Amino acid sequence: MANDKLTQIISLCKRRGFIFGGSQIYGGLSSIWDYGPLGASIKKKIKDIWWKRYVDEREDIVGLDSGIIMSEGVFLASGHLKGFSDQLVDCSSCGKRFRVDKIEKVEKNIYKCPECGNQIDIGKNPPRQFNLMLKTNMSAAEDQPYYGYLRPETAQGIFVNFSNVLNTSRKKLPLGIAQIGKAFRNEVTTGSFIFRMKEFEQMEIEYFVRPEKANEFYDYWVKERYDFYLNSIGLNKENLRLRNHSKEELAHYAKTCTDIEFNFPFGWSELEGVANRGDYDLTKHAQESGKDLSYFDAKTKEKIIPYVIEPSAGVDRTFFAVISDAFCQEEVKGRKRTVLKLKPHLAPYQVAIFPLLKKNPELVKLAKNIFCDIKNKVPAVYDDTASIGKLYRRQDEIGTPFCVTVDVDSLDDKKVTVRNRDSMAQDRISIDKVLEFISDKLG
């Protein structure tokens, strides 16, 4: 049933123009996905909500947009070149490859293959390390290569700019630096749609604090980020939970970490990680670069290396959670109805306008006039390319909260039918009151 839901979601995303396979006309590219017009619209809304809540509305956080390709020194210092790898095992029965940390442990050295149920004995068949970094040749001369690395997290761009931002913004601790951008990981175990991609987008804040304040701010950010998903994005509470990392699970740089998990169609998985990275990154970069990355506290007259709390969110996983949370199939008069019950502030369009009969020029003209009036005020779409039943179904599937239909009576009574996506209730409303009616319902 759960995987049925995943299949249905992928099919809807492709069919309606949310997401396409990357390089599709050339046969596709593993774990690279392109966002179509509707997907790009939702993705942008998610990023705008995050940026507004953290950069625009707060005085303690500033924005950054750093380079995607970074030098080798950055990742020698961060530990990614040496330690950023997955331990993978192959199942001898079905031949599939898995991350050891993601499959069920039966007893010491014995794991269960999630695909075929076979027992995998890592004593006999030890896991292999796969480094996740992607590197690129930046030299024009092929015989004299020099390499840059595609960042595996936006965070490193923040750490290497810490002094630049501190000196130019003249801010004091606590200070957050926020960044939205692409990150790249040569993931070997892929699949699960956009959950695990080789190219993806992150929304990260590195929040620099005095070391003795780190625990307090860590607790604050776990709550704050949970609240973001609940109240700014509008995910359902029963699909969200927090999970603390055990000591063995912690990344090489982290002191503590809590995952915010979402109940995806394949089960509970990480949506975001909130970590206390201590002074690991600034210390390592200061050592490797030879630059002073300390902070001078004017009050106490001491130089310190701040600790950093990192709420690290995935844009694509948030998008996936939004679609998954909203996806709904119900039976209406013996027929299956698929509807995306998106929160209106995330819907690509808030209203769709159709003429009941596309062959009637008067209806088409009136519908287009209404569309032109509305589209500057709320995101709207005009459509007359199918029968009314199909038009409703299309808008249900892309999550448009309201449809406005212009019929023959509209020419006389100057009223239209406004249909509500979720209740399917239809109201007859004066044309000049349509926007007010919709705005009221959208709240």
Which residues of this protein are in contact with ligand ATP, per CB under 6 A?
153, 185, 187, 196-197, 200, 202, 270-273, 312-314, 316-317
C-alpha distances out from residue 261 to 98, 153, 186, 304, Å: 21, 19, 23, 34
Least spacing, CB of residue 344 vs ligand ATP, in Å: 25
Query: Cβ 206 to ligand ATP, closest distance in Å?
Result: 13
Among 384, 327, 392, CA closest to 357: 384
Nearer to ligand ATP, 185 or 394 (CB): 185
Phi and psi at residue 216, to the nearest 5°: -60, -45
In angstroms, what is the minimal distance from the CB of 86 to ligand ATP? 8
In the numeric block, which tokens belong to residue 117?
């149920």
Output the residue with the shortest Cβ distance to ligand ATP: 314
Pair of tokens at residue 126: 């030890």
Which pair of tokens denotes residue 1?
A: 């049933």
- Supply the minimum distance, in Å, between the C-beta of residue 88 and ligand ATP: 13
Q: In what order do the strands lie in the sheet with 134-137?
A: 69-70, 147-150, 134-137
Closest CB 185 distance from ligand ATP, rounded Å = 5
- Decide the pairing of beta strands 302-304 and 175-184: unpaired
CB of 197 to ligand ATP, least distance (A): 4
Closest approach of ligand ATP to the CB of residue 372, in Å: 39
Look-up of token digits 């973001």: 228
Q: How far is the C-alpha of 158 from the C-alpha of 180, rounded, in Å?
A: 11
Residue of 166, 176, 142, 156 whose CA lies nearest to 69: 156
Name the DSSP letter for residue 199: E
Report the nearest approach of ligand ATP to the CB of residue 117 (Å).
Answer: 23
Q: Which is nearer to ligand ATP, 78 or 417 (CB)?
A: 78
Q: Among residues 72 and 270, whose Cβ is nearest to ligand ATP? A: 270
| Of residues 316 and 383, the one with the C-beta less far from ligand ATP | 316
Closest CA to 67 of 182, 224, 238, 186: 182
314 or 399, CB closer to ligand ATP? 314
Nearest approach, Cβ of 173 to ligand ATP (angstroms)? 24
Name the residue nearer to ligand ATP (CB basis): 274 or 367.
274
262 versus 295: smaller Cβ distance to ligand ATP: 262
Q: Give the residue from 331, 336, 370, 332 showing the smallest Cα distance to 354.
A: 370
CA angle 105, 111, 115 (to 5 degrees): 115
- Of 323 and 356, the one with the shorter C-beta distance to ligand ATP is 323
CA–CA separation, 393 vs 166, rounded Å?
A: 52
Residue closer to ligand ATP (CB basis): 158 or 197:
197
CA distance 160 to 168: 14
CA distance 211 to 308: 8
